[in-house]
């Protein structure tokens, strides 16, 4: 196992005309980790991945994979990685069986036992031509070809897109988990996705990217400890102003209030207790909630009883006071 980081990106810039698709991005992925790369559509995720794979040349900055420059050591880098793009395509004249055998011929290693197990799990017809596969089935085939090669680094760009909910859950919980468990500490996963909730239990570290810049990079467990929700319920509706410092109000509905605390949940709870609540409880945010929180502007305090607007933390129903 190499002592180098699996991925190291330093001040990466990739410019298209006058637009910076990636603007000064820096991150590091340690070997053996499952690393989440989160961002909205157009945030710069795919452009970053293409720079990693030498499919695009950086405008400036450096990219290293296992300590190697993908531009100067492309064969050495690509022999150690597997990539599943968002849009998958295969040679249209080949069957599933022919596609697997063709791609296996280019690999130093190919696990036929894993191949058989995944084909049975996904129920792919070996004799079917790849042009007759659905989008989800093409993604399944691409995942099989990536995992059977037993790469040191697995790069996934929206890997669960196009999969039905049952197959998606099996893929995330069983396939990726089993891939890493096959050689703990050596196999690394770099997954770009907007379906953050589905990878909640696998992600070790993550970076959130917006407009080509890193907004937040963190260890997943530490982030959950840092970002917490504090809820309180009172005997009567709250009136007046409640000073919550830099905390943000997630929801305020009559006798109930929910607050986002960033590293200061205990202090926020104590301030809420000055209003003699019936109940006060604290919960950690999920990675998806952290993603949404990181992309929202902070509010310093809440004016209770003021006009409410849509809650930052969900897509319907909740409100926060302005």
Residue ranges per structural domain of the chain: 7-211, 226-321
Cα 67 to the chain's mean position, in Å?
23
Res 168: pLDDT: 74
Residue listed under structure tokens 């009172």: 234
pLDDT tens-digit profile, the chain (322 residues): 346 899 999 999 999 998 999 999 999 999 999 999 999 888 999 999 999 999 999 999 999 999 999 999 999 999 999 999 988 899 999 999 999 999 999 999 999 998 998 898 888 999 999 999 988 889 889 989 999 999 999 999 988 766 777 767 767 766 777 677 767 678 899 999 887 888 888 899 999 999 999 999 999 999 998 899 999 999 888 777 777 877 888 888 888 888 888 888 888 888 888 888 889 999 988 999 899 888 875 433 343 333 222 233 333 332 222 2
The answer to whether domain 7-211 has CATH 2.60.40.10 is no
Cα 271 to the chain's mean position, in Å?
34
Q: How far apart are CA 171 and CA 174, in angstroms?
A: 6
HEC sequence for 85-121: CCCCCCCCCCEHHHHHHHHHCCCCCCCHHHHHHHHHH
CA angle 287–61–215, rounded 5-degree value: 25
pTM of structure: 0.83
Tokens, residue 229: 């929700």
Res 1: pLDDT: 39
Note whether 163 and 170 are within 8 A (CB).
no
HEC sequence for 260-278: EEECCHHHHHHHHHCCCCC
Note whether 205 and 250 are within 8 A (CB).
no
Res 174: pLDDT: 65
Note whether 260 and 292 are within 8 A (CB).
no
Res 184: pLDDT: 66
Res 99: pLDDT: 97
Note whether 22 and 76 are within 8 A (CB).
no
Res 254: pLDDT: 81
Q: How far apart are CA 106 and CA 151, in angstroms?
A: 13
């Amino acid at each position: 196992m190499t002592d180098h980081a699996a991925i190291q990106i330093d001040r990466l810039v990739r410019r298209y005309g006058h637009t910076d698709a990636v603007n000064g991005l820096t991150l590091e992925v340690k070997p053996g980790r499952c690393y989440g790369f989160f961002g909205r559509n157009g945030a710069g995720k795919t452009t970053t991945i293409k720079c990693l794979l030498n499919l695009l040349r950086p405008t400036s900055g450096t990219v290293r994979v296992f300590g190697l420059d993908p531009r100067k050591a492309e064969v050495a880098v690509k022999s150690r990685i597997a990539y599943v793009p968002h849009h998958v395509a295969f040679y249209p004249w080949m069957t599933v069986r022919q596609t697997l055998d063709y791609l296996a011929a280019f690999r130093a290693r190919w696990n036929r036992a894993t191949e058989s197990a995944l084909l049975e799990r996904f129920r792919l017809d070996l004799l079917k031509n790849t042009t007759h596969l659905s989008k989800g089935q093409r993604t399944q085939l691409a995942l099989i070809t990536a995992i059977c090669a037993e790469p040191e680094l697995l790069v996934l760009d929206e890997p669960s897109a196009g999969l039905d909910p049952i197959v998606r859950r099996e893929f995330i919980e069983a396939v990726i988990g089993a891939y890493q468990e096959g050689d703990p500490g050596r196999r690394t996963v770099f997954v770009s996705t907007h379906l953050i909730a589905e990878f909640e239990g696998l992600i070790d570290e993550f970076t959130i990217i917006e407009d080509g810049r890193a907004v937040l990079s963190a260890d997943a467990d530490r982030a959950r400890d840092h970002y917490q929700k504090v809820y309180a319920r009172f005997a009567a509706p709250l009136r007046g102003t409640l000073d919550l410092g830099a905390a943000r109000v997630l929801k305020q509905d009559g006798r109930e209030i929910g607050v986002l605390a960033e590293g200061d949940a205990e202090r926020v709870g104590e301030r809420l207790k000055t209003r003699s609540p019936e109940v006060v409880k604290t919960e950690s945010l999920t990675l998806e909630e952290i993603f949404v929180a990181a992309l929202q502007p902070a509010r310093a305090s809440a004016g209770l009883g003021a006009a409410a607007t849509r809650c930052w933390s969900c897509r319907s129903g909740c409100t926060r006071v302005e």
